[in-house]
Amino acid sequence: IWPQNSKIPNTKLQIPFCQSNWKLELGRIKEIQILKEKVNKNEQQLNELAKKIHSLEEKDKKNQQKIHSLEEKAKKNEQKIHSLEEKANKNEQQLKEIANMISPNITIDLDKLKQEIARLTLNELVPQAQKKKSELEQQINDAKNKVEGSFKNIIGLLLETQKKILGENDPPVQAQLTGQVNAYLSVLEGNLSKQELQALLDEKTKLIQLEKQIDELRRTTNQKSAK
């Protein structure tokens, strides 16, 4: 192709061009392309894995924060219980002092007095609990009427999980249950407002606490009666 006296090196023509060489080079090019595609896929997988790891780390941080918050609440609750126990002891001492002031020569059965107080308190709280339960059921029905059929059961799961949280003392378990509550809230927020959902949780919490107080009073009166 090039003139014999040309000074331009004809390096390309130094390699004999034949069908076997052409196929070999084409095969190498395809192998390189396949390797590049594999490298790109591996890089994408590594990037996705890195994102997942980062997401898990963020979730772990949030869970650790929730656990710490729940532990702080548990400590405060313990302090409140201790404070209530101290108040109960003081009240008992005051009852004794009042009894001595009223009738120093007459022995008053403090256990019977406590039993009577518990009975009177029960008579007051039971109707309140029944009223709150009826109001909550109405709120639940109103909420279910606002959501689609597939979401109605989630309202029940939300309130049931809230009940489990209040009855659980283990912070990690509480954190897990709180995550479930947040997931249910996220699903329901498309049909109900945050205010409506929070009102349901608040009323459920109040009812559970009231029922717990009633159960404790009933146990107290039953124990006193057994004696």
pLDDT digit of tens for each residue in the chain (227 aa)?
444 454 545 444 445 556 667 777 787 888 888 888 888 888 888 888 888 888 888 877 877 787 777 778 777 777 877 777 787 778 777 777 776 766 666 566 667 777 778 888 889 999 999 999 999 999 999 999 998 888 899 999 999 999 999 888 888 888 899 999 999 999 998 889 999 999 999 999 999 999 999 998 888 787 655 55
- The token pair at 216 is 């404790």
Residue 34 forms part of a structural domain: no
Q: What is the pLDDT of residue 19?
A: 60
Residue 221 forms part of a structural domain: yes
Q: What is the pLDDT of residue 156?
A: 92
Residue 134 forms part of a structural domain: yes
Residue 56 forms part of a structural domain: no
- Distance from first CA to last CA of the chain, Å, rounded? 121
Residue 207 forms part of a structural domain: yes
Q: What is the pLDDT of residue 102?
A: 64
Q: Which run of H or E residues covers position 197? A: helix 194-226
Residue 203 forms part of a structural domain: yes
Residue 208 forms part of a structural domain: yes
Residue 44 forms part of a structural domain: no
- The token pair at 161 is 């999980």
Q: How many domains does the chain have?
A: 1
The conformational region for residue 106 under phi > 0 = left, psi -120 to 50 = alpha, else beta, is beta
Q: What is the pLDDT of residue 55?
A: 80
Question: Quick check: 181 and 168 in contact, CB under 8 A?
Answer: no
Range of the domain at 213: 109-227
